[in-house]
Amino acid sequence: MKIKSADFVISNSDVARCPNEPIPEYAFIGRSNVGKSSLINMLTERKSLAKTSGRPGKTQLINHFKINENWFLVDLPGYGYARVSKRDKKTFQKYITNYFLQREQLVCSFVLVDIRHEPQPIDMEFMQWMGENGIPFAIIFTKADKLKPKAIERDVKTYLDTLTADMWEEAPQHFVTSASQRSGRDELLNFIDDINEK
Ligand code: GDP
């Protein structure tokens, strides 16, 4: 897929106020600092479409970007940032939960995990919740440039084995990416393209 246009549309914390257009939507979510903004900028070839996090945990909104006039890329807030208050965490959980449960246009979500990290409880719980609620998602491993190819293969396998051992019969689809090396871009965009064309 060639990115011809990528435009910011709206930010809000209320799923009812998300754009009303019936076009497919893809959401990106993960722990703060996982490399989500860098990945979105890499995918869209825009230097700062998504704000890279100077202040992790501060972009607590649902951000809609319209791509090529025919699909939405949704940048969701990073979760698991320790310095967010309990009250903020609750509010956050509620509107993100509402977003996933109520957003009809949502076709697939991408859960980002740092390829260097072992499976973290917060990610596991989140994926479990997605599965229980029938919300389709794929995993994106980020920062692959930090590891050698052999280690990538080994760690991805361990990660997926953990998922299948704990909760899934089959591991979710996954992508290995690096924003700094621009790798994994074609695979991800082709995946989105294929769904959009169905
Ligand atoms: P976000 O909080 O998930 O949006 O993460 P950011 O995109 O702001 O990135 C967090 C930190 O990880 C920054 O210091 C980035 O430079 C770094 N980072 C992001 N993507 C990559 C990557 O692909 N490779 C490497 N080596 N560092 C990355």
Is 143 part of a structural domain of the chain? yes
Is 88 part of a structural domain of the chain? yes
Is 72 part of a structural domain of the chain? yes
In 132-183 the beta strands, taken as DSSP E runs, fall at: 137-142, 174-176
Neighbouring residues of 96: CB distance < 8 A, sequence distance ≥ 6: 29, 62, 76, 77, 79
Specify the pTM.
0.94
Is 1 part of a structural domain of the chain? no
Q: Scan for tokens 């930010």, then name that residue.
A: 11
Reported ipTM: the value is 0.99
Q: Write the pLDDT tens digit of every residue in 124-157.
A: 989 999 999 999 999 999 999 999 999 999 999 9
Atom of ligand 1 nearest to the CA of 180: 23
Nearest CA to ligand 1 atom 21: 143
Is 66 part of a structural domain of the chain? yes
- Which residues constitute the domain of residue 100? 6-197
In the chain, how many domains are there? Answer: 1
Gap from CA of 33 to ligand 1 centroid (Å): 6
CATH of the domain at 11: 3.40.50.300
Is 123 part of a structural domain of the chain? yes
Specify whether the CB–CB gap between 155 and 67 falls below 8 A: no
Is 84 part of a structural domain of the chain? yes
Is 182 part of a structural domain of the chain? yes
Count of alpha carbons within 13 angstroms of residue 11, beta-carbon side: 11
Question: Which three-class secondary structure string do you get for 84-102?
Answer: CCHHHHHHHHHHHHHHHHH
Atom of ligand 1 nearest to the CA of 34: 3
Q: Write the pLDDT tens digit of every residue in 2-55.
A: 999 999 999 988 999 999 999 999 999 999 899 999 999 999 998 888 876 554
